[in-house]
Amino acid sequence: MFHSNGKNVLGRDQVQRIFEALDLIRGLPGYDELCQKGNYRDPFTNELTCEITSPTKFWEHNATLFNSKVTDDAATIAMLSNMTYPDGTLVAENEIFGTHKRFANNTLEEALLYMASIEFPDLSDADGFENLNEDIENDVLDAILDGLRVDWQNEPGNDFEIEIDTWVSFENE
């Protein structure tokens, strides 16, 4: 979850930070290996990968595409206001936005939270891969909580925050 302590999070910089977090996770050792063990195919690349539910889908989960298409908040909000993704699937607003409001013309006016999730395949019964899910989830927790979140908290003027949970989060508590 990405938020600014109750403030509106609609904007280019905020979406850029979601890409930053996703790219950090997708770059972890073992991520691709794990995701290729599942059966989800990315609708944009047709590659086996982990399914991502996030506002970044408006830009095919591709930061380079986002940066080439979006230069300001208005363009970001216009894209986020669409009711379908570029692949034609319907946007499930409650899966990617927290409390949000729209103007009469259906353009997003406010969102208090962005949500993103990565669906890892369950390999708990797969021979030789029992710990891969748990290892990746622990690496994600370390990278986000001890890395990215701390960096953002130490960044002057930044009030954008990230919260995370995984299956191992509960076990670790």
Q: Is the pLDDT of residue 27 over 80?
A: yes
Geometric angle at alpha carbon 18, from 32 and 118, rounded to 5°: 40
Beta partners for 117? 53
Q: How far apart are CA 61 and CA 153, in angstroms?
A: 25
**Each residue's pLDDT tens digit, 118-171:** 999 877 665 555 566 778 888 999 999 899 999 999 999 999 999 998 766 545
**Cα–Cα–Cα angle for 100, 77, 86, nearest 5°?**
100
Residue ranges covered by each domain of the chain: 2-172
Query: What pLDDT score was predicted for residue 84?
Result: 97
pTM of the model: 0.92
CA distance 24 to 106: 33
Packing angle of the helix pair 73-80, 12-26 (nearest 10 deg): 70
pLDDT at residue 16 is higher than 80: yes
- Determine the straight-line distance between the first and last CA of the chain, rounded to whole angstroms: 19
Ramachandran sector of residue 128 (left: φ over 0; alpha: ψ -120 to 50; beta: rest): left
pLDDT of residue 93: 95
H helices, E strands: number in the chain: 8, 7
In this structure, the number of other CB atoms found within 10 A of the CB of residue 82 comes to 13
Helix, strand, coil proportions of the chain in percent (round to 5)? 40, 15, 45
